[in-house]
Amino acid sequence: MSLQDDILAQRFANLQRLAQEMTATLELGKLLERIRDEAKLAVPSAKESCLLVFDEQTAELMAPLHCSLVAPGDPKVCFLCKENRAIIRLAQDTGELLACINRQMGCGGCSLRTVPIGSELAIPLRGESGLVGVLSVVADEGSEFTEQEKLFFEDLARLAANCIVNAREHHRAAESAISAARVVEHLSKFVPSAVRRITEKGLDSLDEGKAESDVTVMFLDLEGYSALSERLEQEQLNFVIERYFSAYLDIINENGGDINETAGDGLMVIFRGEGPLGHARKGAGAALSIQKRTREINGELAGTLEPVAVNIGINSGPAFVGPTKFEGVSGTRWTFTASGPMTNIAARVRGLAAGGEAVLAEEAARRVREIYQLEDLGHHSLRNVSRPVRAYRLVRERQGGSA
């Protein structure tokens, strides 16, 4: 083996050993400390070694490196200790490896690497956007570093620069992920939970389209909203909507409902899961709880605002449920809804409710009558419905009943 081959083998062995030891941590500061200390451990003539990080972005990712020559109780920051040395400033300015020939001259003999190897080296750490730091190594008094040792220090400088670049990329990726998570968290307030569950499986799930599913649909609105909006200031009107609908939201969530559409004073809610009887009874239970909470809020606001009545319509049965895509010249919009005759009837029976009533269409009533007391309202002709629909008023939960 030639001398050159022996040097290369030794450099590779040193870096391989160092890389294996560095896998124990991902902290940038600890990684750079290990690289700095390796310069002294692997080169016996090295009296001191320091890593100076000039890049502000990198410095924010780690604690300042402290000098390894002083006692732990009296820490000194490498950067503050050496930043004004002439050889460091010149390496920072030129981006070149520099050797100090004669330290007795107070670094006045600093020269570029074309001169013989000296007793002090300043080796730049180059990142993707330029200089990020300098590795400073100083030999014992009367000693000078060899060419092989200089090559090893350059290997360490490249390794340190790679650590810094990787740490910055990881930080950028983490920041992007956090930023994206914040955006998703904010937007999720405007997105039905059913849509969130679909997108959590992957955005391709949106392309699966609607599928027929048995659900319960509830429509509700505030009675006399138009007249109310004329009598109240906009700020008061917003207060009313937020106060009542916030209470309704909690009730709907507790009963497994999903608000998928809002329009001024109205909500459309889908109850699904737990089987045909289960979601129908959850919907009816939510309606009674909404009526009760409305009366409670009316009492809390008595003397301040006039009472509010919420009218509710409910139906159960098969509907086409899922995402719907609307594509236009200006872009694409997605909605999540339940469509079909069953949904249309739910919206129409809401129009039969008055004074804070909850009205159920026949199929919903059939599913809940064992649990809830109903009042038969007879058959009604509804707009855009071909046959008369039998409707029932939801009265109360039967004694001993349980949804």
Range in 44-48, 49-53, 70-74, 133-137 with the lowest mean pLDDT: 70-74
> What is the per-residue pLDDT for 350?
94
Q: Which helix (H) or strand (E) holds 324?
A: strand 310-328
Please count the structural domains in the chain.
Answer: 2
Alpha helices in 188-323 (DSSP H): 193-200, 225-231, 234-254, 275-300
Same domain, 226 and 374: yes
Same domain, 179 and 232: no
Same domain, 148 and 241: no
Same domain, 23 and 148: yes
pLDDT above 50 for 112 = no
Same domain, 227 and 266: yes
Q: Using pLDDT thresholds of 50, 70 and 90, give the confidence band for residue 219.
A: very high
> What is the per-residue pLDDT for 9?
61
pLDDT above 90 for 361 = yes
Residue 128 · residue 160 · CB < 8 Å: no
Q: Which of 16, 59, 54 is nearest to 38 (CA)?
A: 16
Range in 184-188, 276-280, 398-402 with the lowest mean pLDDT: 184-188
Residue 205 · residue 325 · CB < 8 Å: no
Residue 142 · residue 108 · CB < 8 Å: no
Say which CATH number the domain at 116 has. Answer: 3.30.450.40
> What is the per-residue pLDDT for 111?
47
Residue 195 lies in a domain: no
Same domain, 48 and 122: yes
> What is the per-residue pLDDT for 281?
96
305: Cβ–Cβ under 8 A, 6 or more apart, which residues?
232, 236, 240
> What is the per-residue pLDDT for 187?
46
Same domain, 253 and 137: no
The mean predicted confidence, pLDDT, of the chain is 78
Same domain, 161 and 235: no
Same domain, 290 and 234: yes
> What is the per-residue pLDDT for 72?
46
Domain of residue 316, residue span: 207-397
Share of the chain above pLDDT 90, in %: 27
pLDDT above 80 for 2 = no
> What is the per-residue pLDDT for 294?
94
